[in-house]
DNA sequence: AAAGACACCTGTCCGC
DNA sequence: TGCGGACAGGTGTCTT
């Protein structure tokens, strides 16, 4: 489910409610997520939250006693609710703060994760070798073009590889390629630097727009206040069964790397 | 080293 | 109304 815009939306929604708060209790109702929730998480009772950071699709909650690394997987979401409010189905983790509010982590498919890190979580093995943030200066045409050299994989698969660039999932990969008029099947090594420039700009534009809309809600994503994201109405190709908004041709659906790809074969070359 | 398949898990939707 | 199958926003790991 959540790609970079949804994770960033979650971070912005949670931040004012968690920073500065003291953790009163941690309730792990279901420890079997993608990896078992480590017992050291319980060491964070009594800790004070210092900041909430995003790196790729991970949320890093820094406290004065260690760090939590959260991932929302395909179906995860996080909300702030009154401590007393009853939990709903698949609400696996509850962290209660000193002001009687609580953070709830819900994840029906359990592809998400909560990990503990004593020191700098950016050095954790899952994060240490990630590519640049797509909205940073480091992600530019020269960089992408260089990483495309000698690669036979389709450009869509390549931009979804977190070791190339982080945060781009299936929705925004499809949308970015539509916006830059590039066929998703194009071999990465055959894309000119000029087209890399167009693609980089499209990725940044799509992600910025999606963040400003609170992300994309297809089924179960919700922001930290429970509202859906509104970017779904801005999608040009992802999940579309009708015709291209630009030329009227029927949107095509193919499979790449076991994922659905949507594109317009007239507009995208 | 790179590319592709597979695994993890639950819910929803569609056709019969 | 019920059932089987396909599909879903991710990504580490294993196999070619």
The domain that holds A56 is classified in CATH as: 3.20.190.10
In a domain, A136, yes or no: no
Beta strands in chain A (DSSP E): 23-28, 49-55, 58-63, 66-71, 77-82, 91-97, 101-106, 113-117, 252-256, 259-263
Tens digit of pLDDT for each residue in A190-202?
999 999 999 999 9
A28 CA → C4 C1’, Å: 34
A105 & A207 share domain: no
Is A135 a domain residue?
no
Assess whether pLDDT exceeds 80 at residue A155.
yes
* For the segment 24-43 of chain A, residues whose CB is within 7 A of strand B: 32, 34
pLDDT band at A1 (very low <50, low <70, confident <90, very high): low
Catalytic positions of A: 2-3, 57, 259
Whether the per-residue pLDDT at A222 is higher than 80: the answer is no
Strand B reaches within 7 A of the A255 CB: no
How far: A269 CA to B9 C1' (Å)?
Answer: 37
The verdict on residue A130 lying in a domain is no
pLDDT at residue A219 tops 90: no
* SS3 assignment, position A126: coil
Q: DSSP code of A38?
A: P
Model confidence pLDDT, tens digit, residues A227-249: 888 998 999 999 999 999 999 99
Residue-wise pLDDT tens digits, A17-34: 999 999 999 999 999 999
- One domain, residues A72 and A174: no
Are A111 and A152 found together in one domain? no
Report the number of secondary-structure helices (H) and strands (E) in chain A. 5, 10
Do A21 and A92 fall within a single domain?
A: yes
CATH code, A192: 1.10.8.50
Residue A259 Cβ < 7 Å to strand B = no
Identify the domain containing residue A215 by its residue range: 141-263
pLDDT in tens, A75-131: 999 999 999 999 999 999 999 999 999 999 999 999 999 999 999 999 999 999 999
Same domain, A193 and A119: no
**Which letter does DSSP use for residue A136 in this model?**
S
Residue A157 and residue A84 share a domain = no
Same domain, residue pair A150 and A113: no
Strand C: which bases are under 7 Å from protein Cβ? Answer: 7-12
Is the distance from CB of A18 to CB of A61 less than 8 angstroms? yes
Q: How many domains does chain A have?
A: 2
Q: Are residues A186 and A74 in the same domain?
A: no
């Amino acid at each position: 489910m959540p790609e970079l815009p949804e994770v960033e939306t979650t971070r912005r929604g949670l931040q004012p409610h968690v920073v500065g708060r003291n953790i009163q209790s941690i309730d792990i109702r279901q420890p079997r997520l993608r990896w078992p929730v480590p017992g050291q998480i319980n060491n964070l009772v009594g800790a004070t939250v210092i900041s909430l950071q995003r790196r790729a699709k991970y949320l890093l909650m820094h406290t004065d006693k260690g760090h939590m690394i959260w991932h929302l997987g395909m179906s995860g979401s996080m909300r702030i609710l009154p401590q007393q409010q009853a939990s709903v189905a698949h609400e696996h983790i509850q962290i209660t703060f000193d002001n009687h509010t609580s953070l709830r982590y819900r994840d029906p498919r359990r592809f998400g994760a909560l990990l503990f890190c004593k020191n700098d979580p950016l050095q954790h093995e899952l994060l240490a070798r990630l590519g640049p943030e797509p909205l940073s200066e480091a992600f530019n045409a020269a960089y992408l073009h260089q990483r495309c050299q000698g690669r036979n994989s389709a450009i869509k698969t390549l931009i979804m590889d977190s070791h190339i660039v982080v945060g781009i999932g299936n929705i925004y990969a499809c949308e970015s390629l539509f916006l830059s008029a590039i066929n998703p099947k194009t071999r990465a090594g055959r894309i000119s630097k000029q087209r890399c420039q167009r693609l980089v700009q499209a990725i940044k534009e799509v992600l910025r727009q999606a963040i400003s809309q609170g992300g994309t809600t297809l089924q179960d994503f919700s922001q930290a206040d429970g509202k859906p994201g509104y970017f779904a109405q801005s999608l040009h190709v992802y999940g579309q069964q009708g015709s291209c908004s630009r030329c009227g041709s029927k949107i095509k659906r193919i499979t790449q790397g076991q994922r659905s790809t949507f594109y317009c074969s007239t507009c995208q070359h």
